[in-house]
A and B are shown apart, each in its own frame.
Chain A
Amino acid sequence: MEPLTRKGLVDRPGALGVLLFLLVGGGLTAQQVASVSETPSSASLPFAETPNYLADEIDAYESFMMSGGPPPDGIPAIDAPRFIDASEADLDPSEIVIGFHHQGEARAYPQLIMVHHEIVNDQVGGLNVAITYCPLTATAQGFKRGDTTLGVSGQLLNSNVVMFDRETESFFSQITATGIRGEHRGRTLDEVNVYWTTWERWLAAFPETQVLSERTGHLRNYSRDPYGSYAPLGGYYQEDRTIFPLMHSSNRHHAKTMVVGGRTESGSAYFVLDELRDEEVQTTESFRGVYDPVLDTGYLYRADHDLGEISPMGDGIYEVDGQAYAAGELPLEKVIPVEAFFFAWHAFYPDSERP
């Protein structure tokens, strides 16, 4: 079969549908995902060794997925990002940036640029990564991408962006990091830790950071967020409402409450960021959450280790067994944290543990 080009994907949604129909094996359950994930057929898109826990079956995700309006690549990912030095960046201290660092290189991706593109296919410290952001769910997540690139499919699942890889045109749900249609259905992308923080905090932590340039190769008004604003908080980001249908909904918190969620192969948990900030350390049956005041974020660890108490010493330093550690360096097995609006986390993980 002649492979669909990117342009073909845009111009021939019908052909894409047929291709995906042929590729979709159908009938995979959440329990069957493990065996699929262990045998990836593509060497270029890396996958996690163990798949993420899913609260619903993939069939349910696929049938609930809906168009958000734009066609594939209608929201164009930045495939050839340019960067400027921090000293050249014209950012307000309170402006939100998505941060990532690897092998001594640090990047800041301004939210005001990301809101128009949602994905940057980048290489940081020699690692090919896709930095992704969904404005409707406030989720910034990073994925190893191998030799391929990720694009925005135009589909949504629980208001959350559905991405596709340009090699196989498989669809992936961002929050679950899981393939929901196509050749990679059921596989979990290999995630990297990205940070949702302010420019002021990121710059203080990484003074040598580079900043995504507004010269993206696309023409947009990068001084404007069409949904609202984070500084000051306003518009969609402040309102206790959602736009698209959700698989699971709850009134336990305001819809746009920021939570730090995590999942392993067997379960999930979330911590309300405001509460984690106050208490500094929180524990569920399977997870521990630790607050980091440097970037105003949370780190998550598995709680299945027989480790003593984690005691805050201030400034993001914690004492464990008489030793001092930074919030992100505790001698525990890390879980990739995902900051998200509560409604979005709950829509995917309604059975999450909480402190």
Chain B
Amino acid sequence: MRSGALATLRAILRVTAYRRLALGLGGVYLILFLVALQDITAGGRGWAFLTTDLSRMWERTGAFTFEPVAQLTLPGFTILFSPLNIALGSFLAALAGLNLVVTWIAFRQPRACRFNRSTGILASVPALLAGGACCAPAVVLILGLQLSSLMVSVFQILIPLSLILLVLALKLILDRTDPALLEV
């Protein structure tokens, strides 16, 4: 990212309200990501906390998804803790949070930002479609799609695709944002 874009980003994050907004939106995105990956699911019997061998965190369950090493079962829902899924999700969430904040700034202060306002939002979507159920992407099950082998390949790269798009979108939107015009 160019120093101009980084300077703009620093300027945005110096504003407490924007910082809190990015954190909040990023947190929501992380939860959505973990729901999409089915690490957070509805359904659970009683209360339980289970763990397994930490080394299993490196075992892949999909192209960019990994085994959980802890499980919290609560009445009504279950949370699987996969360190690598959470790490990857947190990174994506940080980027998505920043993108959404600058998108919000673009809506609020069109003079400060000259860019297509939906770019950051669109870039955050692919990773949310990457979750799968054993052999089939979750979105395919929900929408009733039919898959070709090409589509399966596309589903496998949705997470890195989202990562690249989020970085590009953030850079482009920051390049077109004038930090001098930022107001709370």
Contacts and interface: CB of A to CB of B under 8 A. Distances in A.
B97 interface: no
B26 interface: no
Interface stretch (B6-14, B58-66, B160-168): B58-66
Size bracket, chain A contacts: 35 or more
A21 interface: no
Contacts of B38: 221, 226
A221 B78 contact: yes
Interface in B80-102: 80
B52 A70 contact: no
A243 B133 CA distance: 12
Nearest to B156: A69
Interface of B: 38, 41-45, 50, 52, 59-63, 67-71, 73, 78, 80, 132-138, 140-141, 144-149, 152-153, 155-156
Nearest to A156: B135
A239 B140 CA distance: 13
B77 to A, nearest CB: 8
- SS class, residues of chain A in contact with chain B: loop
Centre residue among B42, B70, B132, B133 by max chain A CB count within 10 A: B133
Given A67-B149, A69-B62, A224-B43, A136 B136 contact: yes
Interface string A77-120: 00000000000001000000000000000000000000110100
A314 interface: no
A226 B52 contact: no
Contacts of B152: 66-69
A221 B44 contact: yes
A242 to B, nearest CB: 7
Q: Kindly list the 10 A-B residue pairs having the minimum CB-CB distance in the complex, ordered from nearest.
A: A226-B133, A68-B135, A224-B43, A221-B78, A219-B71, A223-B43, A66-B149, A219-B68, A221-B41, A74-B61
Contacts, number: 108
A297 B138 CA distance: 31
B36 to A, nearest CB: 12
B83 to A, nearest CB: 12
Nearest to B145: A243
Contact of B148 (A136, A242, A245): A245
Contacts of B132: 69-70
Given A68-B152, A90-B45, A236-B141, A227 B133 contact: yes
Given A67-B152, A243-B136, A224 B78 contact: yes
B78 A223 contact: yes
Contacts of B60: 10, 70-71, 74
A207 interface: no
Contacts of A25: none
B114 to A, nearest CB: 40
A226 B134 contact: yes
Nearest to A136: B135
Given A10-B60, A221-B80, 11 more contacts: A66-B149, A68-B135, A74-B61, A75-B61, A76-B59, A115-B134, A118-B134, A221-B38, A227-B133, A236-B141, A244-B136
